[in-house]
């Protein structure tokens, strides 16, 4: 058996509170990357955000983090997982 450790990487993240400020953030951090954040508001509310990730569409609830990965991809992360995995630098 071989044991591996994940390489330390820095990511940019946005704590989504239901506002559309996330689009400005996404445009700034992706910097022309081929992968972009796509979203739709469900039922004309800001309750749920949908992101097309590399693994398919995922919903983001208020209070979830949206992370921009090392290749400009976006993906959601629940607050407890984010807290256990990342620390601010």
Give 13-45 pLDDT, tens digit per residue: 999 887 767 877 887 887 655 445 655 555 555
Q: Which residues pair with 65 in a beta bridge?
A: 15, 77
Q: What is the pLDDT, as a whole number, of residue 42?
A: 56
* Alpha-carbon separation of residue 45 from 19, 29, 32, 41, 60 (angstroms): 10, 25, 28, 6, 13
Strands of the 65-68 sheet, one edge to the other: 12-15, 65-68, 74-77
Reported pTM: 0.76
What angle is formed at CA 53 by the lines to CA 68 and CA 2, rounded to 5 degrees?
Answer: 80
Question: Which residue's entry shows tokens 């910097």?
Answer: 31
């Amino acid at each position: 058996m071989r044991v591996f450790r994940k390489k330390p990487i820095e990511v940019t993240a946005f704590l989504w509170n239901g506002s559309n400020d996330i689009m400005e953030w996404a445009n700034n951090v992706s910097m022309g990357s081929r992968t972009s954040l796509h979203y739709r508001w469900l039922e004309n509310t800001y309750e749920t955000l949908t992101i097309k990730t590399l693994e398919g569409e995922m919903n983001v609830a208020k209070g979830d983090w949206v992370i921009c990965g090392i290749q400009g991809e976006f993906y959601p992360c629940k607050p407890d997982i984010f807290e256990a995995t990342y620390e601010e630098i």
